[in-house]
A and B are shown apart, each in its own frame.
Chain A
Amino acid sequence: MSSHETHESYYVPAQSKWPIIATLGMLFSVYGVGTWFNDMKADRADSNGPLIFFIGGLFLAYMLFGWFGNVIKESRSGMYSPQMDRSFRWGMSWFIFSEVMFFAAFFGVLFYVRTWAGPWLGGEGDKGVSNMLWPGFEYTWPLLNTPDPKLYPAPSGTISAWGLPLINTILLVTSSFTLTFAHHALRKNHRKPLTLWLALTVILGIAFLVLQVEEYIHAYTELGLTLGSGIYGATFFMLTGFHGAHVTLGALMLSIMLIRVIRGHFSPEQHFGFEAAAWYWHFVDVVWIGLFVFVYVL
């Protein structure tokens, strides 16, 4: 339990406009996206979905700059007690746990399909009777033949683990190390190595993303491996795609930390913004290891 002193100065902020702006931004974004998707599906021209989505995006960008700017200002003017710092730490930890569970849902789907649903459709196991739906369907993983190829044309091949994915693994694992070096430099207040290691981390992250895009282009144009190519493509793109989105977000967070470092923010004692971004980056790295093993290798 914390001491009496740390409770005295718990910072309860005054009224704030950011929550309602964030809400409006989210509402417009999702309403715009929903309209857009529905209009695309129904082949309706002149959808106003993209415009609404764009307006929502502007709101969200304004909110992110404003809200985080606000928090940074408060933090730098010393309004946050050690107790407030702990609230942020708990908040970030549980946010990352919620992200873990989000990925767990997609990993769960992958395991379920590979362990049960797939073999059953192929006529094996407890519910092998499902094979009567598409008699003669043979289950393999990676799934290079779908039960109904007219609806879901199967891919002609899949991505080998030992090409780009291996390079990407090396890139991301290396970036976790460079980020840790940056953190050690920050703790010792060695600003120059801090800037360099952090910049290198961001560059490694961006390199990862470039290679990932390269891989997607290869899959779509040469292998016929698409979102619509059956359950292999669906799990492959959703898992790696959401991971890629998280790498993008993580790289963005680290870039902002880099700008703050260059502007002289953070002290060896107080730098939770940096640590939160680092936690997120390591989380993204661990998810990639899971992906590399279960999506690419096995």
Chain B
Amino acid sequence: MSAVIDPGHAGHGHAGHDHHHGPAKGLMRWVLTTNHKDIGTMYLWFSFAMFLLGGSMAMVIRAELFQPGLQIVQPEFFNQMTTMHGLIMVFGAVMPAFVGLANWMIPLMIGAPDMALPRMNNFSFWLLPAAFGMLISTLFMEGGGPNFGWTFYAPLSTTYAPESVTFFIFAVHLMGISSIMGAINVVATILNLRAPGMTLMKMPLFVWTWLITAFLLIAVMPVLAGCVTMMLMDIHFGTSFFSAAGGGDPVLFQHVFWFFGHPEVYIMILPAFGAVSAIIPAFARKPLFGYTSMVYATASIAFLSFIVWAHHMFTVGIPLTGELFFMYATMLIAVPTGVKVFNWASTMWRGSMTFETPMLFSVAFVILFTIGGFSGLMLAIAPADFQYHDTYFVVAHFHYVLVPGAIFGIFASAYYWLPKWTGHMYDETLGKLHFWMSFIGMNMAFFPMHFVGLAGMPRRIPDYNMMFANFNMVSSIGAFMFGATQLLFLFIVIKCIRGGKPAAAKPWDGAEGLEWTVPSPAPYHTFTTPPEVK
């Protein structure tokens, strides 16, 4: 993909259009903004704040598990920590980070002046602080916050839930509305605002993966809304959706939840696939291997994500036919995912590779995400899952796909595009330090969980058998290291915003795409007249 731009069009706009002014001053700039870059920035900072908050809860969990026995917190509070850690990381850290990246980068990548529906865009963002303010406030309510795990299985979350569950339900509604509006905006932008000549199959993969992610969001967030609405009705209005005593079924909750929940895990990883597919070619100085197959693989993963949900429920008592169907369907996902991994490896093959921080995070992404994928295959085998279910092996699996998967994808994207956002290069030495500390810390924290899990240590329990003591201590030390390292990331980002080597319009040799044709930092308004893509 190459682009020819009239430079006059790329910079600060023309006089005569009243909306082509720079940013407003003061706090109200952020509250009232309709600018995709402002909104992207707010999403990214919000997500980082939630990452630190959810991370501190993980630190409480790991501190308690440092030794067997109960030392620091009561089991009741431990349950609230595991629940809120999951909810905040999934809905508050990972998803908003990708929406922030989408806001910043999609208009720049497709040559659009802004998102398609800019006011709704700001509405999507501001709903999130409202939702999370309310969710976090439940921790201070009588009876405590949600304590039923981030999957909030009924009847734990209905019959036996603390009173604050009502606010949890409405917080989920607000997050869902925010996600749906954000996704609609992404779809409308991509389908309608591409520059002339930017055909669908010329779009950068980050745009493609986000288009598919947005479809998944619009399809499943309403199902989550339905799910929590049924909970609300069961709790307050005597319905019996999830109570067998009235003819309903608690297992039904799990079906509805995981019909949302499984596409949700792809919502958290597909944009990372897209970002890594931009970064690896840039630092291998070779075009992406198998662009078309990447697009089709992403679409296949999205399709399969709708027909595998019950692999989360193998031990709950579903018919044998169901176990077999969901086992085989789940294993099929390995095929398109394998296509992607081989494409990334082939892109690197005989490339002129350099290992700046974004590339380090991306290479680690490919390797470690693959490990998480393989443990996923093990879990997909229904009879074997009877042994692994609800053990630390599951915890190890999904942390391997989420931490070096989603989170490393976000770090890689942040380092890759920080020069474009701030106009400065970040500190490469500190960036590499951040990578290696994160890499070592994260593997130390999560790799031993495979072993204790296979040996039978159950998840979500604040105490454990003496025989798991050593591995748990290693896990905790690794987790503390990973957690502390993220403060270094905060320092690197602030340092980069405040100064540093000025960044060129295209600071990376091998980078391709329209975003590198505008100056660094990107002007407040870009592509007010669309570029011509040839």
* Binding between chains A and B: yes
- Answer yes or no: A143 CB below 8 A from chain B CBs: yes
- Segment touching B, from A103-111, A172-180, A186-194, A210-218: A103-111
Is A152 within 8 A of B24, CB to CB? no
Residues of A within 8 A of B232 (CB): 37
Is B317 within 8 A of A98, CB to CB? no
**Alpha-carbon separation in the docked complex, A237 to B167 (Å):** 23
Is A31 within 8 A of B119, CB to CB? no
- Answer yes or no: B170 CB below 8 A from chain A CBs: yes
Is A87 within 8 A of B118, CB to CB? no
Residues of A within 8 A of B180 (CB): 95, 98
- Answer yes or no: A50 CB below 8 A from chain B CBs: no
Residues of B within 8 A of A228 (CB): 237-240, 246
Pick the contact of B123: A22, A41, A108, A233 (CB < 8 A).
A22
- Answer yes or no: A238 CB below 8 A from chain B CBs: yes
In the complex, what's the smallest C-beta–C-beta distance from B53 to chain A, in angstroms? 19
Is A20 within 8 A of B116, CB to CB? no
- Answer yes or no: B193 CB below 8 A from chain A CBs: yes
User: Would you give the 0/1 interface string for B94-132, flagging 1 where the beta carbon is closer than 8 Å to chain A?
Assistant: 000000000000000000111011111011011100100
Report if A16-B230 is in contact (Cβ < 8 Å); known contacts: A34-B166, A90-B188, A151-B246: no
In the complex, what's the smallest C-beta–C-beta distance from B276 to chain A, in angstroms? 27
User: Would you give the 0/1 interface string for B10-25, flagging 1 where the beta carbon is closer than 8 Å to chain A?
Assistant: 0000000011000010
Is A27 within 8 A of B240, CB to CB? no
**Alpha-carbon separation in the docked complex, A72 to B126 (Å):** 24
- Answer yes or no: A298 CB below 8 A from chain B CBs: no
Is B530 within 8 A of A87, CB to CB? no
- Answer yes or no: A4 CB below 8 A from chain B CBs: yes
Residues of B within 8 A of A4 (CB): 196, 530
Is A41 within 8 A of B236, CB to CB? yes
- Answer yes or no: A162 CB below 8 A from chain B CBs: no
A-contacting residues, B303-324, CB 8 Å: 317-321
Q: Which residue of B lies closest to A130 (CB)?
A: B244
- Answer yes or no: B280 CB below 8 A from chain A CBs: no
Residues of B within 8 A of A98 (CB): 180, 184, 218-219, 221-222
Residues of A within 8 A of B189 (CB): 87
The A interface, classified by DSSP as helix, strand, loop or mixed, is: helix
Is A133 within 8 A of B222, CB to CB? no
- Answer yes or no: B370 CB below 8 A from chain A CBs: no
In the complex, what's the smallest C-beta–C-beta distance from B395 to chain A, in angstroms? 28
Is B193 within 8 A of A15, CB to CB? no
Is A117 within 8 A of B116, CB to CB? no
- Answer yes or no: A294 CB below 8 A from chain B CBs: no
The B interface, classified by DSSP as helix, strand, loop or mixed, is: helix
Report if A15-B24 is in contact (Cβ < 8 Å); known contacts: A20-B126, A109-B230: yes
Report if A113-B248 is in contact (Cβ < 8 Å); known contacts: A14-B18, A102-B226: yes
Residues of B within 8 A of A23 (CB): 123, 126-127, 130
- Answer yes or no: A112 CB below 8 A from chain B CBs: yes
Q: Which size bracket describes the interface of B in this complex?
A: 35 or more
- Answer yes or no: B163 CB below 8 A from chain A CBs: yes
Q: Which of A34, A86, A99 has the most CB of B within 10 A?
A: A34
User: Would you give the 0/1 interface string for A159-177, flagging 1 where the beta carbon is closer than 8 Å to chain B?
Assistant: 0000000000000000000
Report if A121-B244 is in contact (Cβ < 8 Å); known contacts: A7-B529, A23-B130, A227-B233: yes
- Answer yes or no: B223 CB below 8 A from chain A CBs: yes
In the complex, what's the smallest C-beta–C-beta distance from B135 to chain A, in angstroms? 11
- Answer yes or no: B343 CB below 8 A from chain A CBs: no
Pick the contact of B247: A16, A40, A90, A118 (CB < 8 A).
A118
Residues of A within 8 A of B130 (CB): 23-24, 26-27
Residues of A within 8 A of B321 (CB): 126
Report if A230-B246 is in contact (Cβ < 8 Å); known contacts: A4-B196, A14-B34, A83-B193: yes
- Answer yes or no: B31 CB below 8 A from chain A CBs: yes
Pick the contact of A14: B19, B134, B226, B236 (CB < 8 A).
B19
Is B163 within 8 A of A234, CB to CB? no
**Interface on A for B, CB 8 Å cutoff?**
1-4, 7-8, 10-20, 22-24, 26-27, 30-31, 33-34, 37-38, 40-42, 67, 83, 86-87, 90-91, 94-95, 97-99, 101-102, 104-106, 108-109, 112-113, 116-118, 121, 125-127, 130, 133-134, 139, 143, 146-148, 151-152, 226-235, 237-238
Excluding A31-B167, A109-B252, 18 further A-B contacts by CB distance (< 8 Å) are A13-B34, A19-B122, A20-B122, A26-B177, A30-B170, A90-B116, A94-B188, A98-B184, A108-B256, A117-B249, A125-B319, A126-B319, A147-B244, A152-B238, A152-B243, A152-B246, A228-B246, A234-B241
**Interface on B for A, CB 8 Å cutoff?**
18-19, 24, 28-29, 31-34, 112-114, 116-120, 122-123, 125-127, 130, 133-134, 163, 166-167, 169-170, 173-174, 177, 180, 183-185, 187-189, 191-199, 218-223, 225-227, 229-230, 232-233, 235-241, 243-249, 251-252, 255-256, 259, 317-321, 525, 529-530
Closest 4 CB pairs of A and B: A105-B226, A228-B238, A152-B246, A231-B247
22 A-B residue pairs with Cβ-Cβ distance under 8 Å, sorted by A, are A1-B194, A3-B196, A4-B196, A13-B118, A19-B123, A23-B123, A27-B134, A27-B174, A31-B167, A34-B166, A37-B236, A86-B192, A91-B184, A99-B222, A109-B252, A113-B249, A117-B244, A152-B247, A227-B239, A231-B248, A235-B241, A238-B230
